[in-house]
Amino acid sequence: MALFVRLLALALALALGPAATLAGPAKSPYQLVLQHSRLRGRQHGPNVCAVQKVIGTNRKYFTNCKQWYQRKICGKSTVISYECCPGYEKVPGEKGCPAALPLSNLYETLGVVGSTTTQLYTDRTEKLRPEMEGPGSFTIFAPSNEAWASLPAEVLDSLVSNVNIELLNALRYHMVGRRVLTDELKHGMTLTSMYQNSNIQIHHYPNGIVTVNCARLLKADHHATNGVVHLIDKVISTITNNIQQIIEIEDTFETLRAAVAASGLNTMLEGNGQYTLLAPTNEAFEKIPSETLNRILGDPEALRDLLNNHILKSAMCAEAIVAGLSVETLEGTTLEVGCSGDMLTINGKAIISNKDILATNGVIHYIDELLIPDSAKTLFELAAESDVSTAIDLFRQAGLSNHLSGSERLTLLAPLNSVFKDGTPPIDAHTRNLLRNHIIKDQLASKYLYHGQTLETLGSKKLRVFVYRNSLCIENSCIAAHDKRGRYGTLFTMDRVLTPPMGTVMDVLKGDNRFSMLVAAIQSAGLTETLNREGVYTVFAPTNEAFRALPPRERSRLLGDAKELANILKYHIGDEILVSGGIGALVRLKSLQGDKLEVSLKNNVVSVNKEPVAEPDIMATNGVVHVITNVLQPPANRPQERGDELADSALEIFKQASAFSRASQRSVRLGESGLGLKSLQTCLGLTPKQAQACHLLYIDKNIMVQ
């Protein structure tokens, strides 16, 4: 009974657990990371937290799950150490950190948490220590000893030379006139400091990092009798200017200042909000070709896209970056922001030269390279960063540069470089015309293309769109990468050179000497009109060699029977267009004859009914032709399958059973008559099941005669 009660209690706890979790307050990211660190340290005793320390530095982090397994911070290796979790201390002779730290006033707590320098500077002022030791409720963001030591000498000298004004004001700016714990520190909030009610910016990131004016919270929530202490890694200072004001006063932003004014973004950058500006310096603008820069500066829409691509939707302090993450700009582009040691990276490049310049409405990082979004680029500029440079050279040699660098609304179908591994075609009239047919007269987006859509090229050809389960194709060429949408044009990266249709299926076959016997067969079977009219056909076209490979008697019989010939030829024609790029592991394509063709792709080789296709994707206006070197046989014409059908019919099974019964009753007479041998001779050449039925029927018939 007692066991039953315990099990019932456990079941109720499990059932109510999620509901209780939902009802209770959600843990903040910082608390979740601290909880994980506590979990990793529990083997060392109660209230022990696992801490990752970057090798060669004094930088320590409570560890989350990902960092625990990677053992890296900003690409640098870490070692794991085990320390008392915030608020606890060791007891001699006992495991872990079983004792809670004794509560004392704020001043005493500063020494406990490792901010003795803050204590020292507090002592130098006349008013602050009594405040910290007296009644009240305060929060102090206390710089670590290392934070004070890292201040420039001139800054520190100015503080200590006037302790009752400069130093006192600096310390009061680190204080808030009430108790604030980490669960109240929300991303993007501001706290009012005790220095002239100046704001302190708080950011609480999903990875558990909390920053105070971009200084990282090292150890939080150290309770005191009159407040709480949070240890931070920098000495923070007041913020007075917004982003626009910083741009206006910094000489290194002269070009940026002019660009912001021309785009009209200055109103946003001086207003309320929390942004990150990746601010390009004059040097960054100078690295861009003057032709490109002048084009963008003279195009209000491209300029606005350019600048919006340097603005993030929220404030991102450098200390928040401990590994790579994706962030979205106001323009809509995704940037990969990471770090390598002390350097921040953007898209893998260490281009940030100055970080964490705080403004009242966000943070600025200086960058030495312009981040030009696709939306501000020409087609040529889009292609320069893609794997289609060989094709772009061909377009340039063919005299099509004006189309790809101008303001026409176009879509470029550019084959991958790998398509030309065996060489490029000579630039002649045919190649120029072919390349013109790789340029669509509209700026498209692949997500809006639909099956059966037609697109017009600069070469006045109509191209068709084919949508398959796992691919999107234009004629025989399929899209191999995501669109790149530029200022006026869009780049589609294609998996092969596109071949526009040059006539109907019948035109294609007549124009190729390999298919003279097939053309004659189609005409004899009365299928010429079918393959000349509008439609969507996939034709597996046997070559002359395929017909010659047939046994002479079978070939003569086939060509002499128009009905049978039509049946065979219809089996070679699918009732929809299937190009090689649309073939998955296996596609069952219904033929005009009625049976299905099994089309597959393996190691870039197309097969139909397990027979390899010699040449795929000869495009026609009403279909596609795939060249094969065998004549395909419908299932009904295959001897083995036909025999199975006959043997499995109800009539044949009945005959076999009846004949077997009668034959078994006359077994003696069989041996005497020699009919067994004669039946074997008569039924020779049939399948096993057919031969059995034939054998029994033959014997039964002859016994009855006898």
pLDDT given for residue 557 in this prediction: 87
Please check the confidence at residue 332 and state whether its pLDDT lies above 80: yes
pLDDT band at 198 (very low <50, low <70, confident <90, very high): very high
Please check the confidence at residue 576 and state whether its pLDDT lies above 60: yes
Q: Between 390 and 655, whose confidence is greater? A: 390
Q: Residues 464-483: pLDDT tens digits?
A: 999 999 999 999 999 999 99
Please check the confidence at residue 486 and state whether its pLDDT lies above 50: yes
Q: Which of 345-354, 389-398, 675-684 has the lowest mean pLDDT?
A: 675-684
Amino acid at 463: L
pLDDT band at 678 (very low <50, low <70, confident <90, very high): very low
Token representation of residue 547: 């017909």
Token representation of residue 321: 């970056």
Q: Between 656 and 73, whose confidence is greater? A: 73
Token representation of residue 30: 């910082």
Please check the confidence at residue 25 and state whether its pLDDT lies above 50: yes
Residue among 287, 284, 282 at smallest CA distance from 252: 282
Q: Residues 529-542: pLDDT tens digits?
A: 999 999 999 999 99
pLDDT given for residue 657 in this prediction: 36
pLDDT given for residue 324 in this prediction: 87
pLDDT band at 385 (very low <50, low <70, confident <90, very high): confident
pLDDT given for residue 668 in this prediction: 35
pLDDT given for residue 27 in this prediction: 87
Cβ neighbourhood burial of 623 (10 Å; 0-12, 13-18, 19+): buried
pLDDT band at 695 (very low <50, low <70, confident <90, very high): very low
The DSSP element (H or E) to which 257 belongs, if any, is: helix 254-263
pLDDT average, residue stretch 454-466: 96
pLDDT given for residue 687 in this prediction: 52
Yes or no: say if 329 and 311 are a contact pair by the CB < 8 Å rule.
yes
Distance between CA atoms of 534 and 622, rounded to whole angstroms?
Answer: 5
Please check the confidence at residue 9 and state whether its pLDDT lies above 70: no
Domain architecture of the chain: domains with CATH: 29-89 (no CATH), 103-232 (2.30.180.10), 243-375 (2.30.180.10), 377-494 (2.30.180.10), 505-631 (2.30.180.10), 680-705 (no CATH)
The DSSP element (H or E) to which 61 belongs, if any, is: strand 60-62
pLDDT band at 22 (very low <50, low <70, confident <90, very high): very low
Q: Residues 579-596: pLDDT tens digits?
A: 999 998 899 999 999 999
Q: What is the 3-state secondary structure (H, E, C) of 86-137?
A: CCEECCCCCCCCCEECCCCCHHHHHHHHCCHHHHHHHHHCCCHHHHHHCCCC
Give the C-alpha distances (Å, rounded to integers) separating 472 from 110, 418, 450, 578, 584: 64, 19, 9, 12, 12
Question: What is the percentage of the chain residues whose pLDDT exceeds 70?
Answer: 87
Cβ neighbourhood burial of 411 (10 Å; 0-12, 13-18, 19+): buried
pLDDT average, residue stretch 407-431: 95
Q: Between 668 and 211, whose confidence is greater? A: 211
Yes or no: say if 515 and 541 are a contact pair by the CB < 8 Å rule.
yes
Q: Residues 607-662: pLDDT tens digits?
A: 999 999 999 999 999 999 999 999 999 987 665 543 333 333 333 433 443 443 34
pLDDT band at 67 (very low <50, low <70, confident <90, very high): confident
Question: What is the percentage of the chain residues whose pLDDT exceeds 90?
Answer: 79
Please give the mean pLDDT across all residues of the chain. 88
Q: Residues 279-326: pLDDT tens digits?
A: 999 999 999 999 999 999 999 999 999 999 999 999 999 999 998 889
Phi, psi for 338 (deg, rounded to 5): -145, -165
pLDDT given for residue 647 in this prediction: 35
Q: Facing residues of 312 across strands?
A: 276, 329
pLDDT given for residue 323 in this prediction: 87
Distance between CA atoms of 554 and 558, rounded to whole angstroms?
Answer: 6
Distance between CA atoms of 417 and 391, rounded to whole angstroms?
Answer: 7
pTM, full prediction: 0.78
